[in-house]
Amino acid sequence: MTSRTQSEADADALQRLVDGLVEGLDVYAGRNVDQENEGGNFKRLGVEQSLGAVIQYLLEINTRDDLRTPLLTLHGALADLDRGTVHPLLEKAVGDGRPKNVSKDVFDLAVASAAVELFRKDGDTLPDALRKASRHIGKTSAQLREWRKKLRQGEQRAEAKRMYDITLQDAGASGDTPGVAARKVVEFLKDQNPKA
């Protein structure tokens, strides 16, 4: 009898991942679930099941343990909710969508900096992009330019860079053109700062 090749083992692990994701989706959608015993929270259970399938797959293909740590933390945080405990990872953000440890000023500047990047990708000049993005945060174009310069040089707090990156990732995932995404970001800033 021949031993299995690594590619066969990887293909089997991938198939188990897909099967686990399909099962998670079924639970998420309320199919094949004893809703009475699950307390009606089958959506979260489906997410937990799908996340567990991804974690198991990463284990089976021998990834480093630390690569699974964030996913394991999220999986545990979701399970904590079932026990009535809110893990700090899932605590509600401050009302305007920013994390607790990021000031309003830093949040606005990070998001506006991302809008500048999107306007630039859409073909705007830097001065025009700065003017459009700074309009609703109570800052001048020069202030935003300097703050953005420090961000790009790694001189701003890690949380600021994270908010900048998240804004760009969300814009990219939206499927919008950079110009449309930039205008949506500016509209968000306008809503967050009605007096600016």
109 in the same domain as 81: no
Among the ranges given (152-156, 164-168, 190-194), the one the predictor scored with the smallest mean pLDDT: 190-194
Average pLDDT over residues 157-171: 88
- The per-residue pLDDT for range 94-141, each reduced to its tens digit, is 555 556 656 888 889 999 999 999 999 999 999 999 999 999 898 999
Domain boundary among 39, 68, 90: 90
Instruction: Tell me the residue length of the chain.
Output: 196
pLDDT at residue 178, as a whole number: 93
* 186 in the same domain as 109: yes
Residue 155 clears pLDDT 80, i.e. is over it: yes
Q: What is the model's pLDDT at position 130?
A: 96
**Is 1 a member of any domain?**
no
Residue 97 lies in a domain: no
Same domain, 74 and 113: no
- Under 8 Å between Cβ of 112 and 137: yes
For residue 67, pLDDT over 50 is answered with yes
- Tell me the CA distances in angstroms from 57 to 9, 61, 103, 134, one per residue in order: 11, 6, 38, 45
Domain count, the chain: 2
pLDDT band of 40, cuts 50, 70, 90? low
- pTM over 0.85, yes/no: no
Q: Of 90, 115, 145, which residue sits at a domain end?
A: 90
Could you give the CA distance from residue 139 to residue 149 in angstroms, rounded to a whole number? 15
Q: Tell me, what's the pLDDT at 170?
A: 86
Residue 178 belongs to a domain: yes
What is the DSSP-derived secondary structure letter of residue 90?
G
> Residue 24's domain spans which residues?
6-90
Integer Cα distance of 80 and 85 in angstroms? 5
What DSSP string describes 21-35? Answer: HHHHHHHHTTTT--T
Q: Is residue 19 part of a domain?
A: yes
- For residues 13-32, give the mean pLDDT: 89
| Arithmetic mean of pLDDT, 88-94 | 68
